[in-house]
Amino acid sequence: MNKALRILTEGLSLEKLEENLFRGAVSDTIIKRVYGGKVLGESLTAAQLTVEDRPLHSAHAYFLREADSHSPVIYSVDRSRDGKSFSARRVTAIQHGQPIFTLKASFHKEECGAEYQGPMPEVPPPEAVAPVVWDWSKFDSLSPCYQRMMTITEPFEIRAIDGPNGTNDAQGKPLRRVWIRTTDRLSDSTALHRAILGYISDYGLIWTLLAHHGFLVTNDKVIVASLDHAMWFHRPFRVDEWLLYCCEGVSSYATRGLARGSFYTQAGELAVTVTQEGLMRAI
């Protein structure tokens, strides 16, 4: 397995300290501020460790404080409810004695019901899109933020349909579409695939809006931070198989931006919907 992917999967395997209490690994991020997707992925793992036989179907999170990469994060899980069909959990991520992140998650036993989804966007297949290739020979000379961007995506193979800065749709709305999958095959654990998707879903979503306003991913004159994040898991998927991540800008105002993302399987099934509001402050 690719070393970066192994580090990611091992990092999402939390240490159980006590019933409903878990500890995450110290981050290997380049800068002190931890990538928000890591805390999100670990929180999803913590919640899933307390539920059996019911897959996660939705999660709603708030980023409260920056996570320190030099210290582990403690995850406290409240078993809010276990009903006949649904289970609810509340996760609080704690560091240095303060909550830095909260998540509410809901689980639903598998049932049959009515089905509908809108059509998948028409895009070229992943085989027809050039892969994103990083120049690792220049890694040491790059800014810490750019280095972190490279390390976040290292466990994945990414093929950017619209390039690194995205594009606009026919109505002029910000749009960014990429094919993505892990570099290697993973186990069949549904919980692992959901946690890894949570990890990568935080990457680049708000940048869909920033590019629309002329900011490039290499721009260090803007402060970007996730404020809240919501996910709905609709259908089965694997993150080690190609997924189309279609990101759309919804609104930007008062230094905040809202973006929506959809993950589709290569067969055209809508697997996951994501929304996120983020801080976009020029300095």
Check whether 224 has a pLDDT greater than 70: yes
What Å distances lie between residue 17 and 21, 73, 75, 77, 90, CA to CA? 6, 12, 10, 12, 17
CA distance 128 to 163: 14
Identify the pLDDT of residue 219.
Answer: 62
Question: What is d(CA 227, CA 67) in angstroms, rounded to the nearest whole number?
Answer: 13
CB burial string 176-194: b at 16+ within 10 A, e below: bbbbbbbeeebeeeebbbb
Q: Map out the domains of the chain as residue ranges.
A: 3-110+125-282
**What pLDDT, in 10s, does the model give residues 23-54?**
998 765 555 677 889 999 999 999 999 999 99
CATH superfamily, domain at 3-110+125-282:
Acyl-CoA thioesterase, double hotdog domain (2.40.160.210)
Q: With a cut of 70, say whether residue 220 has pLDDT above it.
A: no
Q: Is 170 exposed, middle or buried (0-12, 13-18, 19+ CB in 10 A)?
A: exposed
Q: What is the pLDDT of residues 141-159, one digit of tens each?
A: 877 767 777 888 899 999 9
Q: Which two tokens stand for residue 95?
A: 């560091």
Residue 222 makes CB contacts below 8 A (sequence gap 6+) with 210, 215, 280, 281, 282, 283
Catalytic residue positions, numbered: 202, 226, 276
Which of 167, 234, 246, 160 lies closest to 201 in space, CA to CA?
246
Q: Using an 8 Å Cβ cutoff, are 180 and 158 in contact?
A: yes
Q: pTM (2 decimals)?
A: 0.93
Lowest mean pLDDT among 7-11, 87-91, 186-190, 214-218: 214-218
